[in-house]
Amino acid sequence: GDSVTQMEGPVTLSEEAFLTINCTYTATGYPSLFWYVQYPGEGLQLLLKATKADDKGSNKGFEATYRKETTSFHLEKGSVQVSDSAVYFCALLTKGGGADGLTFGKGTHLIIQP
């Protein structure tokens, strides 16, 4: 079945550091890919998405590129802030055939220190 693998944290960085959170996937067909963020005590918020190969999703300084050849969707940000501290989930959605729910990775807890 479909699956998402992402680096497990916690990942601790200093403010203004460069961020990469790795995400790879296994899926039948051609999935859409997503990054969601969960702040403490809150639900998940869609951060960015890409629906086909080579698409780049971006939002709030975060970027991720859909790489079909490496089945990856790594999240990057050039300069992180303390307010970026949260749990980040990579997810996929397989079009057609079967469940339309998102398949999530385990989540990466990001801690940014001032």
**Residue ranges in contact with another protein by CB under 8 A:** 32, 36, 41-46, 49, 51, 89, 93, 95, 98-107
CB of 42 to another protein, least distance (A): 6
CB of 43 to another protein, least distance (A): 4
Nearer to another protein, 64 or 103 (CB): 103
Nearer to another protein, 13 or 87 (CB): 87
Q: Measure the CA–CA gap between 87 and 77, rounded to whole angstroms.
A: 15
Nearer to another protein, 17 or 38 (CB): 38
CB of 1 to another protein, least distance (A): 10
Q: Which long-range contacts (CB under 8 A, 24 or more apart) does 14-18 make?
A: 14/112, 14/113, 14/114, 15/80, 15/81, 15/82, 15/112, 15/113, 15/114, 16/79, 16/80, 16/81, 17/79, 17/80, 17/112, 18/76, 18/77, 18/78, 18/79, 18/80
Nearer to another protein, 15 or 56 (CB): 56
Residue written as tokens 């303390």? 82
CB of 32 to another protein, least distance (A): 6
